[in-house]
Structure 1
Amino acid sequence: MAFDLIGLRAAVARHGRVSRVVIAATHGSTPREVGAAMLVWEGGQSGTIGGGKLEYELARLARRQTAPRRLSRHALGPEMGQCCGGAVEVLSEIYDAADVEALADQTVIARAGAPGCAMPLAVKRLMTRARAQGIMPEPQMIGGWLVEPVARPTRALWIWGAGHVGRALVQVLAPVPGLHITWVDTGADRFPEDIPEGVSVLPAQDPARLIGHAPREADHLVLTYSHALDLELCYGLLAHGFASAGLIGSATKWARFRKRLAGLGHVPDQIARITCPIGKPELGKHPQMIAIGVAAEILNPAPDEGTKNKSSFA
């Protein structure tokens, strides 16, 4: 887990005052791990620290909180009536736009759970390693200080097409930690009004021209409204390079694409790097079912590199 500064910034922009409630330490059996967090504002919340009465009570307290920061301990069995039996230490912090802006350049965020608690030497060392060597620490409480690395995207996914399946894929995949989605289609009117956080929208009359801007280690999903555009994108991606590429379509479509790509100069081993069809056909053809199957491939790639027509996201 990591400090989701992008999500916090978006919540503050929409709601003004926002409380971030994060699990700072655990003792025994608990529903969530250190670093699990939720955002709370008047009339709503996002994220989860485990649900149940613990989450309900801490959300209620966060809305009433006046101190900038509050550290508390909760025994899940005796205090909350939950079966986990362990205990959690929870840090609840209030943020506004100025607070978020002050964190803009941070890679690791460390703060005391209570006023007047000097930064321990161990925390200083972690901060120095992070800044000088890029070694990010795990979320942890040290000497009354909570240390959290700031979440950074570690994987780039380009989704080509904003139709029904493209929209379903973005809805399913946008919340995945560490994933940054670039969403491409032929015009701004192709996209929905509400774009999830962590998604960059790129309308372009000629989407294939954007291929050169994609990192060569990016994953790609091609599912536009046009078979001709799909073919052009597959051709361009094979020339550009990618970590993985998936194409929506039937076995018949893929057979035709293989023949045409070969005719355009790509050899069979190159063409075979593209997976088609994508998802899990047994789940059905509904856009949400396709999205669930593709998400499963992305999050749990096939372990056998030699498996024929394996997931392209290995």
Structure 2
Amino acid sequence: MNVMSWHQAITQCMHAGHAYVIATVVNTQGSTPRDGGSKMVITADQTYDTIGGGRFELLVTQRARELLAAGQGCQRLEPFPLGAQAAQCCGGNLTVMLECIPCRDWQVAVFGAGHVGQALLGILAGLPCQVTVVDSRPELAPESMPPNARMAIDDNPVSALDTLPDNTWVIVLTHDHGLDFSLCCRLLTDYRWSFTGLIGSRTKAERFRARLSREGFSGEAIRRIQCPIGLEGVEGKYPMEVAVSIAAQLQSLYYQRHERPTGVSTTWREIKSVLNGEQME
């Protein structure tokens, strides 16, 4: 067991994008090692906090890892009779809620921590993605970042592209058109991205396409960069309006390419069966 508390572990898992299960004791009968409301967090290779230890906790951990291996979000209510199932002398019964949170493999990199970048970060904080914000200006780093985001301060933001995983969705929103262009050149030189978008007007888009063509990039390659970024139907020039347009486009494209995750929950009939089973023990 890791010394980190269950709530600290949730934050860490969210920040890293790792899958995890929250195990909560929701009901107890008789003599049990922990009371209702006790929690622990289980990942593929770690456990955090405790709901009682012993073989009971081992069984819970094994069941949680079965859910993790399935790779699907779900909520399961399961009984654990300590005497019959866990061979523990206290002999009581516990009901445990297992909430499986799948990993987040949607990687988004936002270059630029200005007004639009900050507004976009606020929206992406509530979406199932991992966010990296890159900027050269440390004074723009927020005092706190959402659990699913990190800030990368780099004097040369272009070099930060080398640290990003393949299939990252890259959004370019910097304060400097020269930097924007350098980022576009590097993005197209080694195109391993799921999506690339550039903020700007239609005039900026035309000028960038012409410059990129003079740099030797083909028309097919240049069209990989979406500029102006954002849904056309979402209008407005305020930072939040622009951010909403960008986020809506990202979400729309993501779910066109990926099946929307659905959770599996314990049915009410199953819940009644579990509780009735405890009462008959």
TM above 0.5: yes
Contact 1:108 1:148 in 2 (8 A): no
Q: How does 1:1-314 map to 2 (within 5 A)?
A: 7-8=10-11, 69-70=35-36, 92-93=37-38, 106=45, 118=56, 124=62, 127-128=65-66, 130=68, 134-137=69-72, 138-143=74-79, 144-177=95-128, 179-241=129-191, 242-281=193-232, 282-301=234-253
Q: Would the alpha carbon gap of residues 201 and 253 (structure 1) be closer, same or farther in structure 2, given more than 3 Å must change? A: same
Q: What secondary structure, in the 3-state scheme, does the structure 2 residue paired with 1:221 have? A: strand
Cα shift at 1:151: 4.5
Q: Distance in 2 between matches of 1:23 and 1:161?
A: 44
Contact in 2 for aligned 1:108/1:136 (Cα 8 Å): no
Alpha carbons of structure 1 residues 172 and 265: separation in structure 2 relative to 1, 3 Å: same
State, as a whole percentage, how many aligned pairs show the same letter. Answer: 27
Question: Alpha-carbon deviation of 1:116?
Answer: 10
Partner amino acid, structure 2, of 1:181: V
Structure 1 residues 279, 21: CA separation in 2 closer, same or farther (over 3 Å shift)? Answer: farther
Amino acid at match of 1:136: G
Q: Distance in 1 between matches of 2:101 and 2:45?
A: 7
SS in 2 for 1:255: helix
Residue by residue over 1:65-121, the C-alpha shift from the partner in whole angstroms, topping out at 9 and shown as x without a partner, is xx9652xxxxxxxxxxxxxxxxxxxxx446xxxx67xx5765799x97x99995798
Between stretches 116-125 and 223-232, larger displacement belongs to: 116-125
**Where has structure 1 moved over 6 Å in runs of 4 or more?**
20-24, 114-117, 119-123, 302-305
Post-superposition shift, 1:296?
1.2
**Cα separation, 1, equivalents of 2:126 and 2:59:** 35
CA drift at 1:7:
4.7
User: Which of 1 and 2 has higher RCO (CA within 8 Å, sep 6+)?
Assistant: 2
Q: CA RMSD in A?
A: 3.9
Q: Look up the SS of the partner of 2:108 in the other structure.
A: strand
Deviation at 1:141, TM superposition (A): 1.6
Aligned to 1:277, the other structure's residue is in SS state coil
Larger radius of gyration: 2
Specify which structure has the higher proportion of helix: 2
Q: How many residues align?
A: 221
Deviations along 1:149-208, one digit per CA (max 9) or x if unpaired, are 34432111000001100000001111223x111110112113232322221111111110
Any unmatched runs of 5+ in structure 2? 1-5, 14-21, 27-32, 80-94, 258-281
Residue 246 of structure 1: CA displacement? 0.7
TM-score (norm 2): 0.65
Q: Using structure 1 for the length normalisation, give the TM-score.
A: 0.59
